[in-house]
């Protein structure tokens, strides 16, 4: 019977649960806006972790949040090491997640196409 989740997936999920609490309660940096950790991908050797996030705001807020997170990556890794018992904690690499914005754009395009089709049907 195959396992549903690999250990790296479980480590990623644990990082995804712990990291927002550390950022909110321990980091306390005002440059970080309304942050959401959307996904964490850990390499098979547990040496690196890509942390995908979204933030409420414009491109300036996104860039500022990314810069702040990259600057605090060592502190965040150290705090994660205190909460998650592993031999070595992966290096954190932060990436802005554009999938939420793309989903909203696609949703609006679909809504517009449906409304245009409904108009065409009413006119016919």
Amino acid 7: pLDDT: 84
Is residue 54 domain-resident? yes
Is residue 124 domain-resident? no
Is residue 111 domain-resident? no
Helix axes 73-83, 59-71, angle to 10 degrees: 60
Q: For the whole model, what pTM was predicted?
A: 0.79
What is the total count of domains within the chain? 1
The pLDDT tens digits for 40-59 are: 999 999 999 999 999 988 88
Is residue 104 domain-resident? no
Q: How many CA atoms lie less than 13 Å away from 14 in the CB half-sphere?
A: 19
């Amino acid at each position: 019977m195959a396992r549903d989740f690999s250990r790296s997936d479980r480590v990623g999920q644990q990082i995804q649960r712990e990291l927002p609490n550390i950022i909110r309660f321990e980091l306390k940096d005002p440059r970080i806006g309304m942050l959401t950790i959307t996904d964490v991908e850990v390499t098979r050797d547990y040496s690196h972790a890509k942390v995908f996030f979204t933030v409420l705001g414009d491109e300036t807020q996104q860039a500022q949040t990314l810069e702040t997170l990259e600057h605090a990556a060592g502190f965040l890794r150290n705090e994660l090491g205190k909460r998650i018992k592993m031999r070595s904690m992966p290096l954190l690499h932060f990436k802005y997640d554009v999938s939420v914005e793309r989903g909203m754009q696609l949703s609006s395009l679909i809504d517009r196409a449906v409304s245009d089709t409904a108009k065409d049907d009413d006119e016919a």
